[in-house]
A = this chain, B = another copy of it.
Amino acid sequence: MFTDATSEEINSAMKEAWLAFHQYRKLPLKSRADFMRAIGDELKNNEDELVQSAMKETNLPEARLKGELARTIFQLNQYGEAAERGEWLEVRIDTAVPDKNPPKLDIRKMLVPLGPVVVFGASNFPFAYSTAGGDTACAFAAGCPVIVKAHPAHAETSEKVAGAILKAADKCNMPKGIFAHLHGAGIEVGKALVMHEYTKAVGFTGSLAGGKQLFDWGNQRKVPIPVFSEMGSINPVFLLPEKLKQSSEEIAKAYAGSITLGVGQFCTNPGLIIGIENDDLQKFISELGNEIEKIAPAKMLHPGIAKAFEEKRNTALHQNNVTTVSVSGILKKENEGTPTIATATGEVFLSNPVLHQEVFGPYSLVIACKDMKEMVGVAQHLEGQLTSTLMATEKDILENDKLIEAVKNICGRFILNGVPTGVEVCLSMQHGGPFPATTDSRFTSVGADGIKRFARPMAFQNWPNSLLPDELKNENLLGIWRTVNNELTKEVIH
């Protein structure tokens, strides 16, 4: 339905983005925020059309999509406000000390935008992590033009969202080239965008294979660029003994819900639950199995994802010494995903890397370790994760320091007594983690700190006040927090 962008179209979009960059970065922070708010307004104005389009393309239900669109607008507003507040600029000013030997010169540093950012939309979030999603919002907030490679699974929705962005750009008199939207069914368009000389950074949310490929291309360029790929994970949950004894039924209920939420199509879906073999764990497994049996299969995002789920789940279930605990008792229809729980011992898990792979969908594997030592071993051998969760009492935590320290090494967000699904959009959120959860654990893709993925520090040495950017001028007209001679302050410099 949509044709792939030609190399001329790609080149032209990138050239215009490069030119727009020089104008956009000079606009006041407020103009960036106004533009982002205007995008939010356009999205809101077109809510019905957008939600209908996304329902058709993704099989996601109306309420979820309305919620996701609201979240997308919230992100645009929140990151825009953060951009205006200016703390993310990390302004550092050291004033001159002329009588030092040698004289200390005036130096003032702030974050400046990297340049045009290429964003790849996620299949599982047609709004919040796609065309006008988190990466786009962060890039606009940082001062970067954005070129979106539409996800082919929701290309029409993407096209409509792009229309809203372009309309907002027009209303706000943004420079031509501030935003472009390109289609590409295969890998060629994406590759050409990542390799283009005017591309200065990439944001991606999706599979390990896809995200790693973009990362490799980014590094293989003549001039390497940062590629932030968020590639999901299996989000291990550690059940500690005292807590499990106290609350196995509650935990089973909560996790049956978390595992099957949104047909398991969240990057924070709990795909691995680790306990210690005893009656409490067996009781929990049986309770979780009973819950899962009652949950109906539901339509997945698109046929490709439903097929991949079926295959990966079956591969996992057919591994040696993996036992199926429970599948939904309700027969699945076409393109639906069937809630499934399996179990294996710690030893089996540790020796079989297939079981460490993400099964994207409503599936979780319960690991029964023979003792705490083996549970620590599992934590030590797990790959990097977006989240890890402890179900634990205070006593459980105080008595198992080695486990806690091992879990800290592998995750970006460490949850106590909760479920990993549900990613709050706030400054304290860390949505990122050691590889393979993301390609750079030092950044986040949710929350306004995600802006910093697309900016770099620049220092101005010995410039007169009148020629400095407003953010760095003595007067602090923007009223932002700045570190002046090692002290955080909003004060004017005299």
Q: Which residues of chain A (1-17) have a CB below 8 Å from chain B?
A: none
Tell me the A394-427 residues at the B interface (CB within 8 Å): 394, 397, 405, 408-409, 411-418, 422, 424, 426-427
Q: Is the CB of A394 within 8 A of B466?
A: yes
- Residue A37 lies at the interface, judged by CB distance under 8 Å to chain B: no
Q: Would A442 and B428 count as touching, CB distance under 8 A?
A: no
A105 within 8 A of B: yes
- Contact flags A76-118 to B (C-beta < 8 A → 1, else 0): 0000001001010010111000000010110111001011000
Residues of B within 8 A of A114 (CB): 441-442
A109, A215, A416, A457: residue with the most chain B Cβ atoms closer than 10 Å: A457
The 8 Å CB contact of A449, one of B87, B92, B383, B415, is: B92
Give CA–CA (A461, B413) in the complex, Å: 7
Interface residue stretch chosen among A242-250, A284-292, A480-488: A480-488
- 8 A Cβ contacts from A437-468 to B: 439-442, 444, 447, 449, 452-453, 455-464, 466-467
Task: Decide if A408 touches B441 in the complex (CB within 8 Å).
Answer: no
The 8 Å CB contact of A413, one of B85, B397, B449, B458, is: B458
The answer to whether B424 and A107 have CB atoms under 8 Å apart is: yes
- Contact in complex: B455, A412 (CB < 8 Å): no
Report the interface size class on chain A. Answer: 35 or more
A70 at the interface (CB under 8 A from B): no
A417 to B486 CA separation, bound complex (whole angstroms): 25
Interface 0/1 of A230-259, CB less than 8 Å to B? 000000000000000000000000000000
The answer to whether A435 has its CB under 8 Å from any CB of chain B is yes
Interface: A384 (CB within 8 A): yes
Is residue A216 contacting chain B, with contact meaning CB distance below 8 A?
A: yes
Complex Cα gap A93–B429 (Å): 9
Query: Are A457 and B483 touching (Cβ within 8 A)?
Result: no
B104, A424: Cβ atoms under 8 Å? yes
A470 to chain B, nearest CB (A): 15
Closest Cβ–Cβ distance, residue A87 to chain B (whole Å): 6
Q: A223-B435, A412-B459 are in contact. Are A92 and B428 (CB under 8 A)?
A: yes
Q: Which residues of B contact A104 (CB under 8 A)?
A: 424, 426
Least Cβ distance of A340 to chain B in Å? 26
Chain B residues with Cβ under 8 A from A87's Cβ?
483, 488
Q: Which residues of B contact A177 (CB under 8 A)?
A: none
| Nearest CB on B from A217, distance (A) | 11
Are B405's CB and A22's CB within 8 A?
Answer: yes
Q: Enumerate chain B residues within 8 angstroms of A415, measured Cβ to Cβ.
A: 461-462
**Any chain B CB within 8 A of the CB of A430?**
yes
A109 touches B457 (CB 8 A): no
Distance A482 CA – B460 CA, assembled complex (angstroms)? 27
Is B409 within 8 A of A115, CB to CB? yes
A377 contacts B by Cβ under 8 Å: no
Q: How far is the CA of A303 from the CA of B20 in the complex (A)?
A: 49
C-alpha spacing A268/B325, complex, angstroms: 64
Contact indicator A456/B109 (Cβ below 8 Å): no
CB-CB under 8 A from A215, the residues of chain B are 219, 224
Complex interface: chain B residues within 8 A of A417 (CB):
462
Q: State whether the Cβ of A346 lies closer than 8 Å to any Cβ in chain B.
A: no
> Known contacts A455-B442, A481-B488, A488-B481: does B428 contact A463 (CB below 8 Å)?
no
Name A459's closest neighbour in chain B (CB-CB). Answer: B430
A434 lies within 8 A of chain B by Cβ: yes
* Given A92-B449, A224-B439, CB of A463 within 8 Å of CB of B416: yes
**Cβ–Cβ contact B424 & A94, under 8 A:** yes
With A224-B435, A467-B397 as contacts: A109 and B461 at CB distance below 8 Å: no
- Whether A442 touches B22, Cβ cut-off 8 Å, given contacts A104-B424, A416-B461, A427-B92, is no
Residues B481 and A416 in contact, CB atoms below 8 Å apart: no
Contact B462 A105 (CB under 8 A): no
Q: List residues of A (112-133) whose CB comes within 8 Å of B's CBs.
A: 112, 114-115
Question: A337 at interface (Cβ–Cβ under 8 A)?
Answer: no
A40 interfacial by beta-carbon distance below 8 Å:
no
Contact yes or no, A226 B107, CB < 8 A:
no
Enumerate chain B residues within 8 angstroms of A383, measured Cβ to Cβ: 223
Residue of B nearest to A430 (CB): B459
Q: Which residues of B contact A422 (CB under 8 A)?
A: 102
Enumerate 18 A-B pairs (CB-CB under 8 Å) in ascending A order: A22-B405, A87-B483, A90-B449, A92-B447, A92-B449, A109-B427, A109-B429, A114-B441, A215-B224, A216-B219, A219-B219, A414-B463, A416-B462, A427-B486, A430-B457, A430-B459, A434-B456, A442-B456
Sorted from nearest, which 3 A-B pairs have the closest CB atoms? A430-B459, A92-B428, A107-B428
